[in-house]
Structure 1
Amino acid sequence: MTDPTPTRASSAKHLRRWRQNLADERAEAAVYRDLASRRTGEERAILLALARAEGRHEAHWLDLLGDDVGRPLRGDFRTRTLGWLARRFGSVFVLALAQRAESRSTYSTDRDATAAMAADERIHEEVVRGLATRGRNRMSGSFRAAVFGANDGLVSNLALILGIGASGASHSTVLLTGMAGLLAGALSMAAGEYVSVRSQRELLEASSSTLHADGAVLDLDVDANELALVYRARGMEADDAAAHAREVLRRAGEGSYSGDGDGDGDGGGSGAGAGEGAGRDAAVDAHESVGTGAQAALSSFCFFATGALIPVLPYLFGLEGLAAVAVASLLVGGALLITGATVGVLSGGPPVRRALRQLAIGYGAAAVTYVLGLVFGANLG
């Protein structure tokens, strides 16, 4: 790193940048402390450790500034917004935003920041990604159904209403069509999601290890060692499977095998059981990620109905013709931008790009059906 002491000509520029970096580090540390205050256990400890790391970065800028710290500045707008959300929500949504904030660190190109600070920021992004992933996994089943339901409701009912309206149908016909599309689509989405999630969970259950095999370990023929076949069937090479099976049987003979899948009576957790505790844990995580059929069905029904109601609102309030089309399109466009941006934030992607993509897809589908409605209406006329 070059000498951080600024020259007379550049001192003012350096001081401004150092003061802003100091303010940003203080704001980021506050975000992690606020998030930690809403959590317990391991997640709380991790977030507090991140706050302490930001404190080390703060100390670096304080050392550079010396007596020129000056009046405390405010963190940048994004960090302050993140802090406001953390104090009030502390959800996976905030963690996803924090992940994006860490990814925007400029320390790798800032000659006044140390290499250790730049490395910290890259590691922090991965730590926050891991914390956010836990939340994403817990909500992914219901969230997927909610997002798909809302978008399908918005796009399909807008397209249906615009197509029927463009054909020259009466106001009452368009309104009835919209309400029928809402109800039919919501029920169809709910039923489809229920069947889909139930089927996925049943497939997971069929593929997951069970406890039944653990009770047989103590009675296995040591010479035949058929336990090795279990591990070979799960993808181990023959030699590795045989060695792993011998270890399980050795522990069973010593009385240290408890049948709980960890193969280690002292809690060491070698994953030695036939049922494989780690495999069962993975199955539990997979089930949490998929969610339940009832949750997915309810989320899908509610969000499809909510989305499908939006393009119907202008007709419910008596608007007709192009005025109703324009208002319905604007309302749906705003909703598509919100859902697209939300998905972008939670997935760690660029929210603006996701929002615009969602808008383009929705408007594209609606435009096609509107043009078809005009064509059919003209031919019928």
Structure 2
Amino acid sequence: MPDPALSSFGMGWPNPALFGCGSVAQLGDCLRGLGATRVLLASDAGLQKAGLVERVAGLLRDAALPVEIYTGVSPNPREVEVEAIHARWATADCDAVVALGGGSTIDAVKGACLRRFTRRSLDSLFDDGIHEHPQQPLRFVAVPTTSGTGSETTLGAVLKTPRRKLVLRSEHLRPALTLLDPELVASLPPRATAATGLDVIMHALGVLTSNRPHPIGDMVGAEAMRRAAAHLLRAVEDGRDMEARAEMMLASYLAGHGITLKGVDGIHGLSTPVESLTDCTHADSLGVIFPHVMRFNMPVAAGRYACIARMIGVAGREASEEAAAEALVAHLTALRDRFGMPDRLGALGVERAMIPELARQAQLSAATQGNARPLGTADAAALYERMI
């Protein structure tokens, strides 16, 4: 039976958000309420080809808001794209920016926000941290078109420079408003739905097993896991199942907030270096890595995995802790295999010669430091070796 609470509602925590089918129609009025007079709409070529960019631009024009459009964001947002958004924002004299797309577009816009208020390069921000704060309102609105990264609610942006791919974090990176419209996700192909949905599950798993205690983080992480585990397959098999789409969109949002409160684990800590040295997708790297990190964590995290397994119904209460934890690994691995994702890093372009650098970069990640079991350089290298 559909959850009546998922029809339409608003939130003021952790950031203002509107949830509901058709909520994107309120975009123009919301931007006017924020004081916007000219808008930069950032997106990608795929959404432009699908007609969604022009549809959203039309909503802004209907609200008497002039629109500049940029559609050059790639699946792994790079510094050059951040710079292009930042330059267009300035030269077109826009006073608001809308990120229409998945986590890549939202993160690229976050990078442009950082460039706008710090006036420093991304590498400088990686090296020296972010100490500045905006002198003027950023009027940044996120309109996600996937249910995956949770970037619409997190404080971080995953960005790639010629030197590396890392996460930049600032309390000023949360959108001023997020519009969560499940109808915008309905046309997402099954493979992309599966990939982004696996990301939601990995986020929830990381939140629930992170070594950083936070009871509210555990609550939102558990709710994200429960909703995603119950509805991901439905969303993949029938993209027009709006209940499943709504549940996955909410799960993504909740998992993103859980990341802000608790962080994630070594699965993401080992994933980012792989994506830094190759051009693989985030979901594919996660899919290879998660069973190995979960088994590495078993000596200290079996109890947490067992609780998750029982919560989502892949192990009964009569099962031992060890058996329930193994059932969770088996269930998630079977899900990955059903989606046709790779199971070896070699398929993603990783070579053994890269392992020392991968292991070194893994230690730079806050996610690695948040792993349930300490995961040092030698541990990371050994895990990468097993995954080639």
Q: Do the structures match in fold with TM over 0.5?
A: no
Bucket of the pairwise TM-score, normalised by the shorter protein: under 0.3
TM-score (norm 1): 0.27
Greater percentage in strand: 2
| Structure of higher RCO (CA pairs closer than 8 Å, 6+ residues apart) | 1
Greater percentage in helix: 1
TM-score (norm 2): 0.26
